[in-house]
Structure 1
Amino acid sequence: MSTRRTIIIGGGVVGAASAYYLAQSGRDVVLIDKAEFGAACSHANCGYVSPSHVLPLAQPGVLLPSLLSMLKRNSPFSIRFRFSPALWSWLTRFALRCRSGPMLKSAAGIHALLQSSRQLYSQIIADEQMDCEFEERGLLFVYKDRHEFDDFAHVNELVSREFQVFAAPYAGEALNELEPALKPGLAGGWLFGGDAHLRPDRLMTAWRQVLERMGVEIREHCEFRQFVKSGKSATAAETSTGTIDGEDFLIAAGAWTPFLQEQIGCKIPIQPGKGYSITMPRPEICPQYPMLLEQHRVGVTPWESGYRLGSTMEFAGYDNSVHEKRLSLLKQGAELYLKNPHVQPIVEKWYGWRPMTPDSTPFIDRSPRLGNVYVAAGHNMLGLSMSPGTGKLVAELMNNETPHLDAERYSLTRKI
């Protein structure tokens, strides 16, 4: 076991899971965050633990529908066009990957990390008695139109054949028998029974309790600025509250990681993909299953303690405003599918910046410049779903252990 002092930069779900496995291996861990632990993209997402999300966003045939979608006022997807070489480079890389070969190559890495994390969640939550409303009910993909429902059969056949991820179809009335909260007359749904869900803010509260019990030091309002270097190693992290000495370092800064690429030593093709959510009490007719209203890109998550609508995707840079139009789209989409789509009062309106990569695959690797600096970032919309597997892989790489996953798939220098 290693007792090396390890500094983690980023207090989201990936940083937390990495701290857990590093502390478990005997390391002295300090976790810093420029704001509050668990307050950014890990706070109010939809809480899906979803092995079903195995395919990357870059798929054959998505470009034209995405472009046409942006012409609609109520589109859940938007790009704020502006002069940004980084954005245009990202979009070009994304477009070039919208082919079958690159899609399946990315999916293999995504699948491995999702499957690892799904198993680890059940283990960690049970072992550490984490109170986060974890439920293994599955995830229901719901379709309004018959042709969309039927088309998903091809996706299901693909992921079943290639990755052994299966969904069961429920057409017409069978869907309403499965989920009475849905309106009658919908085409159908596909239930991925291997998925789960939890409440993200409660997960982060539980993570804090577990980490502090393990001796991890959490420093909030402590912004990383740069490394103190000696040769090809970092010896300390300079922060807004002082210098912190360390022997190994992990950057788990999510969508902010590109601001640190000079410190990392290579370009990081991450763009912030802004997502929204609204949280409220449970409606009178509350869904039993978490679901995705696929044609309108609305996520619906029920918990014992509340109810959330979330999703949309906005490439608008690091815009920190909450656009009411985006929140209205969530409500309007839910109204087409659910008997009680939303209620008052609204407990929280929220946005978060997802760290989007062109191939939907995160970076989990050692810096090419500094031999004791590591990166775990770029988990797209799946940071919560992928975090335990990421944390375990980070600890294995730092401790020079045989990794439980093929680490080359997450290389900082892979061709995208």
Structure 2
Amino acid sequence: MMNNTDHVIVIGAGIAGLAVAYYLRRNGITVTICEKGDGEDNCSYGNAGLIAPRHIIPLSSPGVISEGLRWMLKAESPFYIKPRLNKELISWIWKFRKASTEKHVDEAGPVLRDMLFRNQNLLIDLEKKESISFGFQKNGHLTICKTEKGLKKEAKKAQKASALGVPTEVLSAKEVQEMEPNIRMDIHGAVYYPKDAHLHPGHLMEQLKALLQKQGVNFRFNTEITDINEKSEGKVDVVSSDNQKLSGTQVVLCSGAWTPELLKRLNFKLPLQAGKGYSITLDSPSTVPQINFLLAEKKVAVTPMMGDLRFAGTMEIVGKDQSVTPAKISALKKSVTQYFPEYSLGDLDGQDVWVGLRPCSPDGLPYVGKVEPFNSIFVSTGHSMVGMSLSFASGEIISQLITENQAKLSHPMMDPNRYM
């Protein structure tokens, strides 16, 4: 149990780190956040902003390996793994393959469902309690399908979601068009998830940082932490790249795709790969839908954001490379025009391209909990494509583990030690 002399150091100012800091401050804990950049260039800013209770099927699931191998041969595919002789990557792929079973999907489903619904409720509570606005729209999600085959595939996923208490409805193209009359679509049908929501991630990040600073959280930007040393229970030091030392009682690693490098300093191996994704945002287009979409066959998310419209997608496992792959951007743009004929490639040309690295575990579940055998070191990362949908529930868990030594939603499938 903590006391008022405790000081938690959070490494990383993405959404995972901010969420941890928020719930610790609500418990009266002193918090310092160390961020290697300026706090405005992390993965949390340019994502699709989806709050998705429907996301109960992990990335590692049956068929993904074979589909991924076919996609790897196509330059404009939504998924790509760069072949390279890298021990960590080979190990990650092997673990991904082992997790891609129906049994794993069935076991992971209830864990993800509980986390996703809790995260959504926490965001509703945040919006009300703190009186901050971040474009939180709770009007559902449409997974739209170009083909009959695509709709049948998505309908099977919807059956799994419905069995776990996530409401779904399969719609015809006409029914979808009636739901979204302002934007013309060339589709076969869709699955509607009424419990889903979306928000503007940039607005949420900015307002949450301002709120935390007002509440007394100390931000240290441009401070890259390169080492961690647990001195004893209740005392841990972190060291920055310029050899500055900061002492605390606990440390929480929320540094996304960079987390494994820090844990290596503790001789702890965390299987994690960076999944590069892209987004393009249209500022105030003439036509904006009300509901967020997923273009099912192309794996592209379409999110209205306070008058703007964001298109986000692709998953490239290419290490820490943050360069733009032109073929992937071309594919993203083409996908939009195929599903929404009123948009042309010219509408999407000239827009800034955002690139972000999403932290992906091999089994599709996050790492949330204490790092063994240490007493004062915790981690919240590995949220893959659904960081906005999971980080607040993860932050609450970390806060409860630190302050109460237990957490209601803590689960062995999210244990950071599960591969040790």
TM range (shorter): over 0.9
CA contact (8 A) 1:276 1:352 kept: yes
CA distance in 1, matches of 2:77, 2:137: 31
Q: What CA RMSD, in Å, does the superposition of the two structures yield over aligned residues? A: 1.8
Give the corresponding residue for 2:378. Answer: 374
| 1:62 counterpart letter in structure 2 | V
The answer to whether the aligner puts 1:23 opposite 2:29 as a matched pair is no
The answer to whether the aligner puts 1:235 opposite 2:236 as a matched pair is yes
Give the corresponding residue for 1:109. Answer: 111
Give the corresponding residue for 1:212. Answer: 213
Please, what TM-score do these two structures have when normalized by structure 1? 0.95
CA distance in 1, matches of 2:188, 2:17: 41
CA distance in 1, matches of 2:372, 2:185: 56
Give the corresponding residue for 2:361. Answer: 357
| 1:296 counterpart letter in structure 2 | K
| 1:329 counterpart letter in structure 2 | A
Residue number among 281, 302, 311 corresponding to 2:283 in the alignment: 281
Q: CA deviation at 1:340?
A: 3.4
| 1:369 counterpart letter in structure 2 | P
Q: CA deviation at 1:281?
A: 1.5
**Secondary structure in 2 aligned to 1:381?**
helix
Distance change in 2, residues 1:399/1:253 (3 Å): same
Give the corresponding residue for 2:246. Answer: 244
Q: Deviations over 1:41-71 (max 9, x none)?
A: 0010010011111111122223222211222
Q: Deviations over 1:366-390 (max 9, x none)?
A: 1213211111111111111111111
Give the corresponding residue for 2:37. Answer: 35
Give the corresponding residue for 1:412. Answer: 416
Unpaired runs of at least 5, structure 2: none
| 1:292 counterpart letter in structure 2 | L
**Secondary structure in 2 aligned to 1:90?**
helix
CA distance in 1, matches of 2:116, 2:185: 33
The answer to whether the aligner puts 1:60 opposite 2:62 as a matched pair is yes
| 2:73 counterpart letter in structure 1 | L
**Secondary structure in 2 aligned to 1:105?**
helix
Q: CA deviation at 1:409?
A: 2.7
Q: Deviations over 1:63-112 (max 9, x none)?
A: 22221122223211111111111111111111112211112222232222
CA distance in 2, matches of 1:325, 1:344: 14
Q: CA deviation at 1:182?
A: 4.8
CA contact (8 A) 2:231 2:237 kept: no
Q: CA deviation at 1:353?
A: 0.6
| 1:302 counterpart letter in structure 2 | P
CA contact (8 A) 2:183 2:287 kept: no
CA contact (8 A) 2:8 2:251 kept: yes
Residue number among 34, 46, 55 corresponding to 2:48 in the alignment: 46
| 1:214 counterpart letter in structure 2 | Q
Distance change in 2, residues 1:288/1:305 (3 Å): closer
Distance change in 2, residues 1:234/1:30 (3 Å): same
Give the corresponding residue for 1:164. Answer: 165
140-149 or 70-79, larger mean C-alpha shift: 70-79
Q: Deviations over 1:338-361 (max 9, x none)?
A: 133363675531111110011111
325-334 or 255-264, larger mean C-alpha shift: 255-264
Give the corresponding residue for 2:402. Answer: 398
Give the corresponding residue for 1:297. Answer: 299
Q: Deviations over 1:140-188 (max 9, x none)?
A: 1000001211232221111211x20121121121111112355454110
CA distance in 2, matches of 1:227, 1:147: 51
Give the corresponding residue for 1:11. Answer: 13
CA contact (8 A) 2:61 2:101 kept: yes
CA distance in 2, matches of 1:15, 1:151: 36
| 2:35 counterpart letter in structure 1 | D
| 1:41 counterpart letter in structure 2 | C
Unpaired runs of at least 5, structure 1: none
How many aligned residue pairs are there? 415
CA contact (8 A) 1:272 1:315 kept: yes
Q: CA deviation at 1:255?
A: 0.7
Instruction: Please identify runs of 4+ aligned residues in structure 1 that moved more than 3 A.
Output: 181-185, 231-234, 339-342, 344-347
- Counterparts of 1:323-342 in structure 2 under 5 Å? 323-341=325-343
CA distance in 1, matches of 2:21, 2:351: 31
| 1:378 counterpart letter in structure 2 | G
1-10 or 21-30, larger mean C-alpha shift: 1-10
CA distance in 1, matches of 2:266, 2:371: 6
Residue number among 376, 389, 393 corresponding to 1:389 in the alignment: 393
326-335 or 396-405, larger mean C-alpha shift: 396-405
CA distance in 2, matches of 1:123, 1:184: 35
| 1:300 counterpart letter in structure 2 | V
**Secondary structure in 2 aligned to 1:89?**
helix
**Secondary structure in 1 aligned to 2:97?**
helix
CA distance in 2, matches of 1:115, 1:239: 37
Q: CA deviation at 1:123?
A: 0.6
Q: CA deviation at 1:325?
A: 2.1
Q: CA deviation at 1:407?
A: 3.2
**Secondary structure in 2 aligned to 1:112?**
helix
